[in-house]
């Protein structure tokens, strides 16, 4: 079953409860729904985690933890999926989000040169900020909904396949 596969890669409950950056959530971390591996909790975790991965802000893991509390999704999976955007994948994902944002806003894609000075970075960031946020929210919403339905479909398919295998034997 999918549950066994997921449990292999998941951090344990006590390590997340005792994590220094999540300790402020206190008793809310004791909600059993945050730790169960059901089709709905895992699908909602993908929804939360993929959405937060597209946010161009620091501390995405904390945002994913808080959103998983509200969504009552599996918290370890929500937090882990934020690492879709790691140092290797951030540039292409955020560039794609920026291009989508410029398309949605009807603004041209800016041609920027890489110059690592405070003045150049602050100027470039102020020029691309609005299309980047717009594109990131749009892409995050679209890809998180796709992830939600994909996980739900794959979970149901896998369970049915397992049950049909049991019936045959």
pLDDT at 125: 77
Q: What is the pTM of this model?
A: 0.80
Residue 13: per-residue pLDDT: 65
DSSP class per residue in 106-142: T-PPP------SHHHHHHHHHHHHHHHHHHHHHHHHH
pLDDT in tens, 76-119: 899 999 999 888 999 899 999 999 999 999 999 887 766 656 66
The pair of three-digit structure tokens given for residue 60, joined into one six-digit string: 């995405």
Per-residue pLDDT of 122-135, as tens digits, reads 777 778 899 999 99
Residue with tokens 């946010």: 55
pLDDT in the model for residue 137: 98
Tell the residue number behind the tokens 């004791």, with chain if given: 30
Query: pLDDT tens for residues 26-74?
Result: 667 777 788 888 999 999 999 999 999 999 998 999 999 999 999 999 9
| CB hemisphere CA count around 93 (13 angstroms) | 22
pLDDT at 1: 46
Per-residue pLDDT, averaged over 144-157, amounts to 96
Residue scoring higher pLDDT (120 or 153): 153
Q: How far is CA 43 from CA 19, 64, 90, 165, in A?
A: 24, 14, 23, 24
**Alpha-carbon span 90 to 151, nearest angstrom:** 23
Are 99 and 135 contacting, i.e. CB atoms less than 8 angstroms apart?
A: yes
pLDDT for 121 equals 62
């Amino acid at each position: 079953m999918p549950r066994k596969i997921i449990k292999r890669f998941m951090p344990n409950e006590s390590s997340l409860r005792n994590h220094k950056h999540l300790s402020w959530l206190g008793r809310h971390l004791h909600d059993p729904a945050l730790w169960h591996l059901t089709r709905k909790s895992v699908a909602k975790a993908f929804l939360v985690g993929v959405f937060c991965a597209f946010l161009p802000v620091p501390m995405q893991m904390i945002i994913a933890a808080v959103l998983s509390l509200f969504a009552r999704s599996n918290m370890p999976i929500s937090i882990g999926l934020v690492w879709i955007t790691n140092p290797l994948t951030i540039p292409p994902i955020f560039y794609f989000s920026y291009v989508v944002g410029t398309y949605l806003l009807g603004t041209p894609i800016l041609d920027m040169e890489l110059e690592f000075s405070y003045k150049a970075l602050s100027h470039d960031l102020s020029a691309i900020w609005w299309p980047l946020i717009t594109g990131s929210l749009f892409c995050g919403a679209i890809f998180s909904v796709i992830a939600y339905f994909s996980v739900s479909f794959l979970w149901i398919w896998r369970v049915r396949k397992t049950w049909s295998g049991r019936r045959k034997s």
